[in-house]
Each structure stands twice: as C-alpha cells, then as structure tokens.
C-alpha cells in the first residue's frame, strides 16, 4: 500500500512507502498525554493553571473580584468616615467653650476617635493581605485566591482583623447599653441583662482568639460562631430598649397630616428611628453572623464592609448627642447681655447682632397689676343716708402697672 504526499514547495510528487508515512506521522503528531484542552480566559492577562476546569477557574475569579470590590467599597467608606469625623469634631470644638464641655461628651468623642483608628487599621490590614497574596507580583488566579483565603484565616493578619471586630463590637454595644440606661431614667434593672450578655460576649471573643492559635479550625469556628450569636443578641436587646421609648413617645402625640403623606411619614419615622437608635449596627451584626453559618464569601464581604459602616453609624449617633448638648446650653440673661460690647457667656469673641436683639425683643414681659381702694366708712355711718354721695366721692381707686422686661 502506498501513500501520496504533495510537496507544496517544489510541486513534485513523491511516492513513499506506507512505513515511511507511518514514521513521519509518529514523529510529527504530539502525544495524547501532552495535549491540553483549550480554555477561554475572561481576562487575557490572567495566567491560568493547568489541570483546572472552567468552573473552578470561574469560582476563583469570582472570589478575587469580590475581594477587590469589597476593598474598593471599604476604601470609599473609610474616606467618607474620615471627612465626617473631621467635620463633627470641628463643629463640636467651635460651638462649645472649653468649660462648657462635659466629661461625657469628651468621652464619646474619644470613643469615636478609637472607632476611626480601628477602621483605618482594618483597611491597612486588608491592603497588606492583598500584597502578601501576590497581587503586585502578577500571580495566577488560583494562587491569588488561595492567598487571600489563607491570610484571612488563622494567621496573624486574620487574628488582627478579628481583634478589631471584637473591639468595635464591644464599644458599640457599650454605647447602646449606656443610651438605654439614660433613656430609661438611669434604671439599673433595665440594663442588667445587656450587661451580663456584654460580659459573656467579651469573654467569648478573646477566648476565640486564644483557641484559634492553639486548637484546630473546627473548634475555633465553633467558638467564633457562639461569640457572634451572643454579640447579636446583646446588640439587638440594647437596640430594642433604645427604640421602644422613641416609638411610644411618638405614638402619644397626634398630628394632622394629609392622606397623601401618610406613607411618606411612616417611612420617615422608620428611617429616623433606625438612625437615632443606631439600628444599622444591629443589621450589620446580623448579616455578619448569618453569613458565618451560610456563606464563606458573604462572611468575607461582611468582614470588609462592617468596620467602616459601624464607625460611621457610631459617629453619627455621638454627633447627635454632643451637638444637641451644645445647642441646648443656656442663653445669657438680660442682665448679663451687653448690646454695645462682646458676649459675656456664650462666645466672648463675637459681638451682639441684630438677630440677637430681635430674639430678645420677642421674649415675654411679666406685668404685675395692683389695685388699692380707700373708702371713708366712718363718714358714711355718721352722716347717714344724705352723705352717700359724699362717701362715694371719698372713694379712691388706684391702679398701678409694673413692667418687668426680660422676666419669663
């Protein structure tokens, strides 16, 4: 049997034996073990690893994209939080005099500063994890995804992120319990259970850190999930104690509103109650805990976004308390005000303006009216009925009107 081979370079035909053709085919054809299936890559710059299926590569790509997207969101939230905190501190320092700042306000501003430092440290750790995973070295997708998962696990950086979460949760829950204590008229019985749960929460949190460094991953995850559940219960109980007086006080006040504004009013009340009670903190903690049982990717995303979100909510609540305290400071009385000179109490460097004079002129004025009557009863009894006209003339009534401006 012969085979016919055409040489296109010379155009001549050569007859070769079947053995020569078989040898040529065996030498040119690659071996079956060396053939790799062709794979499509969504990014031509990404290096793929041999032996991985398309579904595995897609899963690794989704985890890497999730990490990069959550890091971007965390960066934006941290930037907005830094600007918000700077504005709040400037407003607090400019509107209040040094002797008018209470220890409570200074303590709350300091706690907000600690929250900001923890959120920034969390962002720095996330950036370091990406660098340690090989993002700047141009590693393949599988290596990058494995590095992100490993460094977020039971490593020094992973434990540092968990420590930040425990500290932020402790500060936030303590603040909510303090608000409940103030709202419920300094009642120690109301906050007894939240304080007990907070103590167990802190103990379980730091125990999880110790067990994670000494025990296998299964026991560490069990302790971590128990800590997250207790943290959610503590925060939810404190939030309910804060929100209940807000809703009850609003329910007692009846206001007239048109029918078209009822739905808008309900939405506004819900949104306002969520902001005032810092319920976003509770919602974030619930999402974090649920993802720890359901989705590892969801837990990773929550761990990226939770610290700056909690810091923003905490700072807004602190600003509402501290700035409202500054606005409710007593105004100087009429005897202490000098219209031609500077202020005496509130702002010594600012002169009195026309608005201040108009506000002062609108204050109520107390008027005291006294009536004195004099009548000659002796002349009436002595002169008899003929002296009635003269006795009437003898009556004298005096009305004295006294005005005390500036007395409320």
In this prediction, residue 137 has a pLDDT band, given cuts at 50, 70 and 90, of confident
The verdict on 216 and 77 lying in the same domain is yes
What is the mean pLDDT of the segment spanning 98-110?
82
Number of domains in the chain: 3
Domain-embedded: residue 107: yes
Burial string for 250-287 (b: 16+ CB within 10 Å, else e) reads eeeeeeeeeeeeeeeeeeeeeeeebeebbbbbbbbbeb
Rounded mean pLDDT, 79-89: 90
Structural contact between residues 121 and 127, judged by C-beta atoms closer than 8 angstroms: no
Q: How far apart are CA 168 and CA 118, in angstroms?
A: 8
- Euclidean distance between CA atoms 73 and 255, whole angstroms: 41
- Domain that includes residue 136, residue range: 66-254+262-327
Instruction: Label the pairing between strands 13-17 and 2-6.
Output: antiparallel
CA 340 distance to own-chain centroid: 46
Task: Kindly report the pTM of this predicted structure.
Answer: 0.64
Average pLDDT in the chain: 71
- C-alpha to C-alpha distance for 375 and 163, rounded to whole angstroms: 89
Q: Do 276 and 396 lie in a common domain?
A: no
Same domain, 147 and 287: yes
Determine the Cα–Cα distance for residues 334 and 408; give it in Å rounded to an integer: 11
- 15 in any annotated domain: yes
pLDDT in tens, 226-239: 999 999 999 999 98
How far is the C-alpha of 369 from the C-alpha of 354, rounded, in Å? Answer: 32
Mark whether 232 and 377 lie in a shared domain.
no
Residues 15 and 162 in one domain: no
Is the same domain home to 307 and 369?
no
Establish if 344 belongs to a structural domain: no
C-alpha closest to that of 226 among 252, 204, 196, 197: 204
Same domain, yes or no, for 277 and 376? no
Instruction: Decide if pLDDT at 332 tops 80.
Output: no
In a domain, residue 45? The reply is: no
For the stretch 367-405, pLDDT in tens is 555 666 655 555 444 444 444 444 444 445 554 445 454
Q: d(Cα 378, Cα 391) in Å, to the nearest integer? A: 9
- Statement: residue 310 has pLDDT above 60: yes
């Amino acid at each position: 049997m012969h085979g016919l081979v055409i040489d296109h370079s010379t155009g001549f035909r050569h007859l070769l034996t079947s053995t020569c053709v078989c040898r040529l085919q065996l030498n040119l054809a690659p071996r079956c073990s060396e053939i790799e299936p062709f794979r499509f890559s969504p990014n031509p710059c990404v290096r793929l690893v041999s032996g991985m299926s398309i579904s595995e590569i897609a899963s690794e790509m989704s985890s890497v994209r999730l990490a990069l997207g959550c890091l971007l969101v965390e960066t934006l939230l941290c930037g907005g939080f830094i600007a918000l905190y700077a504005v709040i501190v400037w407003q607090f320092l400019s509107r209040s005099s040094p002797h008018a700042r209470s220890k409570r306000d200074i303590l709350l501003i300091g706690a907000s500063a600690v929250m900001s430092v923890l959120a920034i440290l969390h962002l720095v750790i996330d950036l370091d994890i990406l660098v340690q995973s090989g993002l700047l070295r141009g590693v393949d997708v599988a290596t990058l995804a494995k590095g992100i998962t490993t460094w977020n696990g039971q490593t020094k950086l992973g434990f540092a992120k968990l420590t930040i979460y425990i500290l932020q949760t402790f500060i936030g829950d303590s603040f909510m319990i303090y608000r409940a204590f103030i709202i419920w008229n300094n009642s120690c019985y109301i906050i007894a259970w939240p304080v007990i749960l907070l103590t167990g929460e802190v103990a379980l949190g730091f125990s999880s850190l110790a067990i994670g460094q000494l025990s296998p991953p299964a026991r560490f995850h069990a302790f971590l999930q128990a800590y997250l559940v207790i943290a959610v219960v503590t925060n939810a109980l404190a939030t309910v104690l804060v929100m209940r007086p807000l809703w009850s006080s609003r329910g007692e006040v009846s206001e007239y509103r048109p029918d078209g504004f009822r739905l808008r009013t309900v939405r506004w009340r819900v949104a306002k109650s969520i902001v005032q009670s810092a319920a976003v903190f509770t919602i974030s903690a619930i999402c974090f805990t649920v993802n720890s049982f359901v989705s590892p990717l969801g837990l990773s995303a929550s761990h990226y976004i939770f610290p700056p979100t909690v810091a923003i909510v905490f700072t807004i609540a602190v600003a509402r308390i501290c700035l409202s305290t500054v606005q409710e400071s007593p105004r100087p009385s009429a005897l202490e005000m000098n219209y031609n000179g500077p202020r005496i109490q509130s702002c010594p460097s600012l002169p009195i303006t026309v608005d201040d004079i108009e506000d002062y002129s609108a204050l109520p004025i107390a008027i005291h009216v006294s009536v004195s009557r004099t009548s000659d009863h002796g002349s009436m009894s002595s002169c008899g009925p003929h002296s009635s006209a003269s006795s009437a003339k003898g009556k004298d009534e005096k009305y004295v009107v006294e005005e005390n401006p500036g007395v409320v």
